[in-house]
């Protein structure tokens, strides 16, 4: 073989070796693994918003969404309203509030968390003050004790979540409406002909609370309406509640819509007084039981004056507990009727099981068919011995009415047994009269 052949062979082999050495790697290249990391975002907290419309006097408070709010609204002086938000919130102004000198912001804890409004005439009076608490578990303390405060109507809407609204002493010219899971009454509420509407559970948190819908006796009184819950107390049998929609002669008392009065919040009320009298008495609608309980050395009571109309069979009971004295029930200034057929009214003022306990006095008013259904059933009255006396007759009785000659004891609603006992009483009377005639004939 020639020298050129061997030269070409070795050159070819070395070229192939170099290509294998410098060619692509047979092992796959690994890419770095993904590592999650925190990324700082901008602050997305939405502040509470105050919007004011000067032309109509409408003030709207809208709490920040997605967060539990803690709001306090007061009237620190006449013609002044202060709004303060907690939980790190702030207030932003919109509408005419953003440019009005009557809206002054300041800082209490968090920047711009407090707003003071000059509500004097000619400035920024609040004809309608609407408060929307939002979509979480919110808390509001509301009280406009200073008068005049430049506020006419107030509407509070708790929205979604479990909301707690505390109403401190408040005076308004117009209406007050609250919708919340629980409304705590921690002071007197007064309007001048405006309505008070409380939707949800109502809890009397102060020792004595009065809801009054008429300042003075000139003009018609506003209504008081409870719905969607019960009325109860937080303190054991020491809290009193007065509902006053009365007014003077020539004017109309305000309507009162009642719900069950019980111990949902832990205790019964001690005294309940309801007055809807006027030139025309306001209608007091009752379709649930009204129960009170005595406190330590403090007998309970129920007093109702006005046009009481039963929407169902109900009980007025002044001894909700097992012990103690039964308190008085006073209906002397009430006219009682029913709006449905066969509505029964049970008055329970009996003593408890402990020794030396006393029953409460019961004073009746006029019973009739004002409510529209003449088939109202007689009244049951539990006295100190827990005997249920049934009053009857061809017409309604006033406070001087007496029971039938032979009182009948109620036993668990056994109407057939009651009729049998009544028939027995009538037969007994007939025998007595017959014996009397025989005795006269013998003489």
Containing 3, the helix (H) or strand (E) segment is: helix 3-22
What is the rounded CA–CA span in Å between residue 441 and residue 443? 5
Residue 436 has phi, psi (to 5 degrees) of -65, -40
Instruction: Please report which residue ranges of 117-199 form alpha helices under DSSP H.
Output: none
Higher pLDDT, 391 or 84: 84
By residue count, the chain amounts to 443
Contact, 198 vs 213, CB < 8 A?
no
Structure tokens at 51: 């919007």
Q: What is the pLDDT of residues 343-381, one digit of tens each?
A: 999 998 877 655 556 778 999 999 988 877 654 555 555
For residue 2, the tally of other CB atoms under 10 A from its CB is 7
Contact, 185 vs 209, CB < 8 A?
yes
> How confident is the model at residue 417, as a pLDDT?
46
Check pLDDT > 80 for residue 331. Answer: yes
What is the rounded CA–CA span in Å between residue 209 and residue 184? 11
> How confident is the model at residue 22, as a pLDDT?
52
102-128 mean pLDDT: 96
Q: What is the pLDDT of residues 246-272, one digit of tens each?
A: 999 999 999 999 999 999 999 999 999
What is the rounded CA–CA span in Å between residue 88 and residue 86? 5
What is the rounded CA–CA span in Å between residue 297 and residue 381? 24
Q: Any idea which residue has 């009980």 for tokens? A: 315
> How confident is the model at residue 299, as a pLDDT?
82
127 contacts: CB under 8 Å, gap ≥ 6: 56, 57, 58, 152, 153
Reported as a pLDDT band with limits 50, 70 and 90, residue 319 is confident
For residue 92, the tally of other CB atoms under 10 A from its CB is 17
208-224 mean pLDDT: 95
Q: What is the per-residue burial (b if ≥16 Cβ within 10 Å, else e) of 98-126?
A: eebebbebeeeebebbbbbbbbeeeebbb
- What single DSSP character describes residue 106? E
Which residues make beta-bridge pairs with 91?
48
Check pLDDT > 60 for residue 398. Answer: no
Q: Which of 91, 1, 106 is nearest to 46 (CA)?
A: 91
Containing 152, the helix (H) or strand (E) segment is: strand 151-157
What is the rounded CA–CA span in Å between residue 178 and residue 191? 14
Contact, 239 vs 206, CB < 8 A?
yes
Burial degree of 401 (CB within 10 A; 0-12, 13-18, 19+)? middle
Cα separations in angstroms, 392 against 285, 335, 386, 421: 23, 16, 19, 15
Higher pLDDT, 412 or 10: 10
What is the rounded CA–CA span in Å between residue 210 and residue 222? 14
Contact, 291 vs 302, CB < 8 A?
no
Q: What is the pLDDT of residues 297-309, one digit of tens each?
A: 788 999 999 999 9
189-206 mean pLDDT: 97
Cα separations in angstroms, 389 against 179, 338, 403, 405: 41, 20, 7, 11
Secondary structure of residue 423 in the 3-state scheme: helix
Contact, 265 vs 181, CB < 8 A?
no
50-64 mean pLDDT: 96
């Amino acid at each position: 073989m020639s020298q050129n052949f061997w030269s070409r062979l070795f050159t070819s082999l070395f070229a192939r070796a170099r290509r294998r050495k410098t060619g692509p790697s047979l092992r796959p290249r690994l890419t770095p693994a993904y590592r999650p990391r925190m990324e700082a975002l901008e602050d997305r907290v939405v502040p509470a918003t105050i919007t004011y419309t000067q032309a109509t006097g409408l003030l709207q408070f809208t709490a920040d969404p997605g967060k539990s709010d803690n709001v306090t609204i007061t009237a620190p002086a006449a013609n002044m309203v202060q709004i303060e938000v907690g939980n790190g919130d702030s207030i932003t102004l919109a509408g005419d509030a953003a440019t009005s000198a009557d809206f002054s912001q300041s800082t209490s804890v968090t920047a711009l968390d407090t707003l003071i409004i000059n509500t004097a005439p000619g400035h920024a009076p609040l004809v309608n003050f609407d408060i929307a608490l939002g979509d979480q578990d919110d808390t509001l303390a509301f009280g406009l004790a200073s008068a005049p405060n430049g506020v006419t109507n107030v509407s509070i809407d708790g929205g979604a979540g479990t909301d707690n609204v505390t109403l401190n002493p408040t005076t308004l010219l117009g209406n007050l409406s609250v919708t919340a899971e629980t409304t705590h009454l921690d002071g007197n509420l007064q309007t001048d002909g405006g309505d008070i509407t409380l939707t949800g559970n109502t809890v009397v948190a102060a020792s004595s609370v009065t809801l009054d819908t008429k300042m003075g006796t000139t003009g018609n009184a506003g209504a008081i309406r409870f719905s969607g819950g019960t009325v109860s107390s937080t303190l054991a049998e020491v809290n009193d509640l007065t509902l006053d929609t009365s007014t003077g002669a020539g004017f109309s008392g305000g309507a009162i819509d009642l719900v069950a009065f019980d111990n949902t919040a832990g205790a019964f009320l001690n005294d309940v007084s309801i007055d809807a009298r006027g030139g025309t008495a306001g209608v007091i609608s009752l379709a649930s039981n009204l129960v009170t309980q005595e406190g330590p050395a403090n007998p309970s009571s129920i007093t109702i004056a006005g046009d009481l109309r039963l929407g169902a069979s109900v009980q007025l009971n002044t001894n909700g507990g097992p012990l103690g004295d039964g308190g008085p029930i006073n209906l002397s200034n009430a006219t009682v009727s029913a709006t449905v057929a066969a509505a029964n009214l049970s008055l329970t003022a009996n003593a408890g099981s402990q020794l030396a306990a006393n029953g409460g006095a019961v004073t009746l008013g006029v019973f009739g068919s004002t409510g529209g259904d003449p088939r109202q059933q007689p009244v049951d009255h539990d006295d100190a011995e827990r005997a249920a006396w049934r009053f009857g007759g061809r017409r309604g009785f006033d406070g001087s009415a007496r029971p039938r000659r032979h009182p009948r004891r109620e036993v668990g609603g056994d109407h057939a047994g009651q009729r049998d006992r009544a028939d027995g009483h009538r037969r007994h009377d007939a025998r007595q009269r017959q014996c009397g005639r025989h005795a006269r004939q013998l003489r």
